[in-house]
Every structure is written in structure tokens, then in C-alpha cells.
Amino acid sequence: MTATHPIQRGLILLAVSMCTMLYAVTQTIVNVVLPQLQGALSATPEQVSWVVTLNVIATAVVTPASGWMVARWGHRNVIIWSIIGFSISSLLCATADALVPLLIYRIGQGAFGAPLVPLSQAIIVAVYPPERRAFAQGIFGIAVVIGPAIAPALGGYLAEVYNWRFVFILILPMCAATLLAAWLWVHDTGRRSAIRLDWSGFLLFSIAITCGQLMMDRGERADWLESYEIWSYLALIAVSLWIFLVHSMTTDNPFINPKLFRDRNFSVGVFVVFVYGMLNITPTVMIPTMLQNLMGYPDSMIGFLLAARGFGMALGFFVVAIITKIDPRIGIILGFLAIGLSGWNMALFTLEVDPWTVAWNVILQGIGSAIMWVPLSIVAFATLPATLLPDASSIFHLLRNFGSSIFISVSVLTVSRTGKISYSELSEHITAFADVLRFQQVMGRWSFDTAEGLVALGSEVSRQALMVGYSNSFALYALVSFAAIPLMLLVKIKQEKVA
């Protein structure tokens, strides 16, 4: 794909930004209604989190096949059919009446949306010369956060006034506009290749990814290594990964090209983007359920608070171009510091936290994510040949998405397990003989003498214990962010390569 005129490049940048915005919106807007979905579909917090994780798994599985799809059918056809499939899946999500159909349709959203982000980034790298890529990535990033910044607030309002289905209905006009832009401005000028997809590698890789996610999601409920189910997942992961690695080293056309990892910058970049994926989406899953289930925040307020993250990302993209020109590692380090600080502050939240405190920490997290993204992309792709860019972009976004799905499961597990431990510890101090509970002004509606009073007391203990669980999950989030900073010592990149 070539584009020599600035206007032509600008239209292509607009089209691919809309494609990425479309997928990014579904990740933020659905998180607003997770608490409402939990009640409407009679699901537990662990079950409703699958609405996010299964979507991310589907994206992770299909993403590496994007390079093959482009070689087979071209950028234009892949993007157009992906948007069409994504639109149909979104419409079906709005019609779901039970959890299982909704999960199936969300898998469809993830599978059809998977090619959009890596192909968009590969097109930008291919269309813009090296000296203009930082600028293009910055504009691309600003455009991408507009939708996710506005959508949660609007989606939260619609969900509160009507119901959760309207967050999916809201996506449909965006699908139509994105389809039109891709149809008009995305073209193929290069020659296609009739290469075959490595179906063996694809199936083996899919088994490993899916079993890994299932093990993380089911582990707590199945009692981990005390369960034959978890041992089965471990065995399937080990066998499939071993066969996949041997197969990739011996076949002429592997599903994941090993040549990519000979590039030092790319190898470091994909490891860092895995950590970035762990940190990027997790707060948007954890914060809504915490605010509504424990503090009673309405959907509209939660939507505005999540929209604040998009505002923070927009601020971050305004300064990232200057930082990138100095040294991309500075941007990545500052991003990790900002994200870690926001996580540490959220670990100190109490049940009386005010909306402004939540908002500024979410804004700080958004600033950190934005400051990291452009220099991280530049570091990863700076020294790769153009022929490897589609495959490289696919792997890059695969690890980002897989990091998100894994860490969401780890965070939900942390809340559940440490919340149960805290409940047990707090319950030991709640007895009729405790001196502090003899005062009526302390007990309020709690009572050991009536059934209603006991239920109210038990609910409060459970609420306090879950808040401890959320605090622990945010502390883990902060520690992961701070621990990733030394990875920048592995980055070596010549300054002229990232101008």
C-alpha cells in the first residue's frame, strides 16, 4: 500500500483511526454495564467478567492470522468484512436474553474485530515515512481515544434511562460510518500472495491460549490443583505449546514467524506490550463493579468516571510527541510511573471515596497509558523490515490482548480470594460480646436480636471484606507497573531510527 500525497495519507489515517476506535469503544462501553448485566442475567461477578475476557480471548486467538488474511485477500477486503461481521455481532449482542448467547456474540465481536487494530497500525507504518510516523501515531492515538472517552458517559446514561442493550445499539451507527470510510479510502495497490495458513499451528496456539484463560477463570471455583479439570488444562497447555514450538521450528510457513524475534527491539517491545496490556484495560473492568456493587454509584456516574480516562489519554497524546523525540524510553518509564501511582492511590480507596478522587486517578491512568503507547510502538517496529510489519503488528496486539485477559482474571481472583479471607477475619470480631457493638449509635440498623439486623450486619461485613479485596487487586496492579520499569534497560534503539 502506497500513498504519496499528504491528503491521501490523511484520509487513510482517518479511516484506520475510525476502525481502531470502533473496537476500542466496545472495550470501554461494555464495562459500564457489567453490574447491570450481572443482575439482568443472574450472573456472579466471576461469570459476568467473562463478557470481557472471552471477547479478549477471541481477539487474541484470531489476531495472529491477520497477516495471512491480508496476504490472501488484501487490506481492503479484510477490513471491510471485519467491520460487517463486527456490526452483525454487535446487533446480536443487543438481542441476547441470557448469559451464554451474549458470551457467544461477544466472541464474535472479538473475532471479527481482531484484524482491525493490527491492520490499522500496519497501514500507518507502511503509508507514512519514518520521519512522520511519530506524528501519525500521535494523531492516530488522539483519534482513537475520542470514542472511548465519550462512549462510556453516553452508554452509561442510556443504560440508566433504558437498559444495557442500548450500549450495543449505540455501536451500530459507528459501524456504518466506519464501513463507509474504509470503503472510500482504504485501497490495495500491492500484489497478494496465495500463502497457506498454518492450520496446525493455529489450532495448537488456540488450544494453549484458551486453556490458559479457562484455567485462570475456573481455578478459584474448582479449587486449583485439587481439581482434575485444572490438571487437564495444564496438560493441554504443556502439550500444545511443546508441539507448537517444535512445529514452528520445522515447518516452512509457521503460524508465528520466528524471524520476528531475531530483532532485539521487537522482542523487548512485545514483552513490554504484554505488561502494557495487563495494565491498560483492567481498571475499566474492576472500577465499575466496585463503585456500583459496594458504593451504589449509578450507571451514568460510572460512565462519566470511565470517560475521564479518555480525557487523560487525550492529554497524554498532546505531550508524547515531544517526549518521543528526546528518547522513547523516557515516555515508557513516565507511563509506567503514572499508571503505578494511580494504582497505588486506588489501593488506598475506602467505601467513602468521593467521585473526584476516583476521577483524577482514572485520568492519571489514562495519561500514563497514552504516554507509553506511541514510544512503545516505535521501539517495537523501528528496525523491522516492511515485509514483516503485518505479522509483527499481529503478534504485538496479540500479546497486548492476552495480557489484558490474563490480568483481568488475576485481578478478579485477587478480589474473590482475599475478600473471602478478609470476611473470615472480620467475622471473628463481630460478636454480641464485643464492647464497641454495645453502643446503639454504632450499631444503627444492625442487630443481633432480629433477622433483619443480622442480615444487615452480614451484608456490611461482606462489603468491607470485598473492599479489602479490591484494594489488594489495585496494589498488585501498582506493583506490576513499577516492576516493569527496569525492562527499559534492555531497550537499545538509535535515535535517528525513531525520529
156-180 tens-digit pLDDT: 888 888 888 998 998 999 999 999 9
Residue 432's pLDDT is what?
65
Q: Which residues contact 47 (CB under 8 A, 6 or more apart)?
A: 38, 99
Which of 470 and 249 is assigned the larger pLDDT?
470
pLDDT at 281 over 60: yes
From 239, 254, 269, the end of a domain falls on 254
Same domain, 190 and 215: no
Same domain, 149 and 275: yes
20 and 72 belong to one structural domain: yes
Q: How far apart are CA 65 and CA 186, in angstroms?
A: 20
Q: Which of 209, 236, 254 finishes a domain?
A: 254
**Does residue 434 fall inside a structural domain?**
no
Residue 453 lies in a domain: no
One domain for residues 376 and 415: yes
Judgement on whether residues 416 and 306 belong to the same structural domain of the protein: yes
Q: Say if residue 206 is in the same domain as residue 236.
A: yes
The parent domain of residue 239 ranges over: 198-254
| Helix boundaries (H) for 128-170 | 130-161, 166-169
Q: Is the pLDDT of residue 193 over 70?
A: no
- 73 and 203 belong to one structural domain: no
140 pLDDT above the threshold of 80 = no
Are 236 and 265 in the same domain? no
pTM above 0.85, yes or no: no
> Is position 445 within any domain?
no
- The answer to whether residue 104 is domain-embedded is yes
Predicted pLDDT of residue 496: 45
Specify the residue for cell string 475506602.
Answer: 350
Pair 250, 283 in one domain:
no
Q: 426 lies in a domain?
A: no
The mean predicted confidence, pLDDT, of the chain is: 83
Give the rounded percent of residues in the chain with a pLDDT score beyond 70: 89
Residues 118 and 250 in one domain: no
Among 254, 271, 297, give the residue marking a domain's end.
Answer: 254
pLDDT at 205 over 70: yes
CB 461: neighbour CB atoms within 10 A?
Answer: 17
Residues 100, 120: one domain?
A: yes
CATH number of 377's domain: 1.20.1250.20
Q: How many domains does the chain have?
A: 2
Q: Is residue 305 part of a domain?
A: yes
| pLDDT at residue 382 in the model | 75
* Residue 401 within a domain: yes
List pLDDT tens digits, range 341-385: 999 999 999 999 999 999 999 999 989 988 888 788 888 887 787
Tell me if residue 194 falls in helix, strand or coil.
Answer: coil
Confidence band, pLDDT 50/70/90 cuts, at residue 190: low
Q: Which of 268, 259, 335, 326 is nearest to 498 (CA)?
A: 326
Same domain membership, residue 347 and residue 281:
yes
What pLDDT, on the 0 to 100 scale, is given for residue 490? 78
CA–CA separation, 103 and 93 (whole Å): 8
Buried b (16+ CB within 10 A) or exposed e, 270-303: bbbbbbbbbbbbbbbbbbbbbbbbbbebebbbbb
Residue 280 CB contacts under 8 Å (≥ 6 apart), including other chains: 369, 400, 404
- Domain membership flag for residue 455: no
